[in-house]
Structure 1
Amino acid sequence: MGKCSGRCTLVAFCCLQLVAALERQIFDFLGYQWAPILANFLHIMAVILGIFGTVQYRSRYLILYAAWLVLWVGWNAFIICFYLEVGQLSQDRDFIMTFNTSLHRSWWMENGPGCLVTPVLNSRLALEHHVISVTGCLLDYPYIEALSSALQIFLALFGFVFACYVSKVFLEEEDSFDFIGGFDSYGYQAPQKTSHLQLQPLYTSG
């Protein structure tokens, strides 16, 4: 039971990460945010790799999973700074999230809790794009996106700690297994010498 505690906990965190990533992927697809969509896809692949490495006792896969989590934390920190417009970051730079293929717009901008959407007709941009005015939101979309990224960072930090712990346990087990002889001492047994039986003729009565 104690041997499974670390592995089971890591698998549980990976499953939570997978659910959170899929939920985020859906809303990013609805908002046509191509850069987050690509990052979410890579994260989903890395989480699946982490689950496979945990179940199959593959320490190398866990190391790759842990290395990706470091990049994932950095990406989500950037997302938080982007939506909160920290420093020189601004949401007016559409190319960061959409590769300059469309206007940047979070799905939560129009569909946040309590939001009232009103089309804006008398605008220069209204001739080329759909311009709206959003009022009455209980929680503005930048804070929703920031909270979503904060949740990803929280799960990633725990996943990183447990991935390092489980991969260390796997490596120690591999080293100890090689030291005691590996498959030579447990999986393979030398054939034992058997005594030769002397054959004697059988006589039958006519």
Structure 2
Amino acid sequence: MTIVGVRMWRELWGQSCIPLELTLDRKKAMCTSRAFGKLTGDYTELREATTSYISRLAVKLRREKCCATAITVKLQTNRFNPNHRQTFPSITLALPHPVNNTHDLLRAGLEGLRKIYVRGYLFQKVEVMATGLIPETEVQLNMFNEYKGIEHDKLSKIMDEMNSYYGAGTIKMATEGQKQRWTLRREFLSPEYTTNWNDIIKTR
């Protein structure tokens, strides 16, 4: 009998073999990353994708009631295509204050994108990561650097409430764009019978 079998046998007889963790470890980082539907080297499309991912990342942070102290932006080409030039630029920027509002994260993230963007490459993916996470209740402000994000915090909260009530994407940042040609292909997406009114089965 394997060690797994022995543990299972003991557990069935009431002997605990795996300690129960009542408290989860605090997350140290959060990441939002997804491949594009097509390769792109257009800066406007990369900015739209980065904005979209940072917006999603900010929502995650607020749901977890965490604030980030740094943000990382990374671009990736298709490493499996030998016919294309390869590069994987990345940058990490420290934030003036721990934040989780979309505006401040977006400002830092787009600054990072501008610094690492290189013309002449076709990128397949953008990755955005928030690091140095701390709980909202443990944020300490810098006495030498005035925090000006209170209005941004309120605005992000209003956006969350509106998108929760009217549907995701109802209100979004202008730099996310409208057409978003870089998004994943969804031609063969399965019908969403339980979450989309347009996909509900109709009978006569």
Q: Please indicate, yes or no, whether the TM-score normalized by the shorter chain is above 0.5.
A: no
TM bucket by the smaller chain? under 0.3
Tell me which protein shows more strand as a share of its residues.
Answer: 2
Tell me which protein shows more helix as a share of its residues.
Answer: 1
TM-score, L = length of structure 1: 0.23
TM-score, L = length of structure 2: 0.23
